[in-house]
Every structure is written in C-alpha cells, then in structure tokens.
Amino acid sequence: MKPLKPIGSKAGIALGVAFFLLFFLVWSVVTLGGFVSKTFLADPFTMLESGWRLLTVHGFHKDIGITVWRVVGGFVIAAALGVPLGIAMGAYKPIEAFFEPFVSFARYLPASAFIPLLILWAGIGEAQKLAVIFIGSFFQLVLMIAVAVGNARRDLVEVVREALQPLLSGERPPAPRGASTEPVRMERPTVPEGGKVRSEAARLERLPAGCCQPAAVERSTIRFGRFRLSDSKMSRLAHRPVMTGAAT
C-alpha cells in the first residue's frame, strides 16, 4: 500500500463491504456478548426486527416518502435559484462582488436556527419544512457553483462564447471552405472541487425568557453568522502568508 496509489474498482467495493461486515461484527460482539446493556444499545437482530415491524405494521414507509419529498423538493427549489446565481457570480466579477459577502455570511447560519421564524412566517405546513431545506442548501450551492465556474479554463469559455454568439444574434455564418462538418468533441475540463454541501445542527440550550420573540431570534442568528464569517476571514488571512512562504 503506497500513498496516493489508486486501487481497482473491485478492490474498492470489497474494502467498503469489509468495513460494514467488521462494523456489524463488532456491534454483535458488544451487544450479544453482554458488554453493553440492551437498554442503551440493541443488538443488530433486534434492530432488524423492529425496522421490519415499523415498515409492515406502523406504515413507516409513508413517513420515509414524505421525508424524501421534503428533502428533494427543497433541494430542487434551491438548485433552480442557486445554479443561475452561482453561474452569474462565477462568470461576472461585479455580480460576485455584490452577492458574495451576503452569501458567505448566510451560509454559516444553521438552517435549524430559522425554524422559530419560519413557523411564524409560514406556519407548520409543508412550506415551512421546504423552506428549512432551502435555507440549508441554497447558499452552499451558490458558492460551490460560483467557485467551479470561476475555475473553468478561459480558453474553453471563449470558444463556447464565440460558438453561441451567432445563435444568440440569429445569424448562421457559413462554414469555411474545406472545413469538416463533423462535430468537434471536446473533453470536459476538470475543475477543483468547489465545495461540499454541508449541513449544521443547532444545539438546544436553555434559553432565557423572551428569547423566542422574532427580534431575539433574528439578533442571535445574525450574531452567530457574523462570528462564523469573521472566523472564516481570519483563517484566510492566516492561511495566505503560510502558503506564500511555502511557495517561496
């Protein structure tokens, strides 16, 4: 085994399956061997039996379907709005300069912190639940797509722009003499990973009286986002001289 040396697909699948087998083996030994009480951790067979009973008797599959609908619905809405905005931010620097400070600030806010406000604004129906998923996905998607678009190769961007210019203007220039009519195949450029969609959960704490008022919730949420944004900026400033010194 050497660092950064790739492995085959069969070996990767085998190692992944081996992890789960080892996980369930350790789980079985710990629970069935009596090392941990069933009050705190059930054994795998009891877990499978309870799960099957939930699906067949209590209609748990309906709850799973509703959850999938909410997650997919909120993500689709976030993608429908976030993809165009992310492309615009990555392609045009004025748009990036206008939206990036707010998006960078908002992406640090945990979506669960907006639940009290969303209940006041949208009630307890499906709109409120879709809004929670939307808030948790939208800002991460915008920054991820903006970074990916911004790292695209400029020569390929110019080729695409020149190719689309006649179509947008309604003109169809004649093909040059001797040119091939076969479509040109271009390899998709590899861009560095723009980011990963991350989800955060707010910890429940004992709050003082009056904290559930909208003004108090908004103030606490903004303070949290401002702290996370300043922490990110300080990390960038500390990271820059280190990387500069390493490069020299």
Structural domain tally of the chain?
Answer: 1
- pLDDT at position 240: 57
Q: From CA 141, how far away is CA 14, in angstroms rounded?
A: 33
CB atoms within 10 A of CB 169: 9
63 occurs within a structural domain: yes
83 occurs within a structural domain: yes
194 occurs within a structural domain: no
Asked if the model's pLDDT at residue 193 lies above 70, the reply is no
175 occurs within a structural domain: no
Please compute the mean of the pLDDT values over residues 218-229 and round it to a whole number. 57
234 occurs within a structural domain: yes
48-101: per-residue pLDDT in tens?
Answer: 999 899 888 888 888 999 999 999 999 999 999 999 999 999 888 899 999 988
Domain limits for position 242: 55-167+211-248
From 191, 100, 99, select the one nearest 154 (Cα to Cα): 191
Asked if the model's pLDDT at residue 210 lies above 80, the reply is no
- pLDDT at position 75: 94
Residue pair 118/131 in contact by the 8 Å Cβ criterion: yes
189 occurs within a structural domain: no
Is the pTM here over 0.85, yes or no?
Answer: no
Strand locations in the chain, DSSP E? none
Asked if the model's pLDDT at residue 186 lies above 70, the reply is no
225 occurs within a structural domain: yes
6-41: per-residue pLDDT in tens?
Answer: 888 999 999 999 999 999 999 999 999 888 888 888
177 occurs within a structural domain: no
Q: Is 79 exposed, middle or buried (0-12, 13-18, 19+ CB in 10 A)?
A: middle
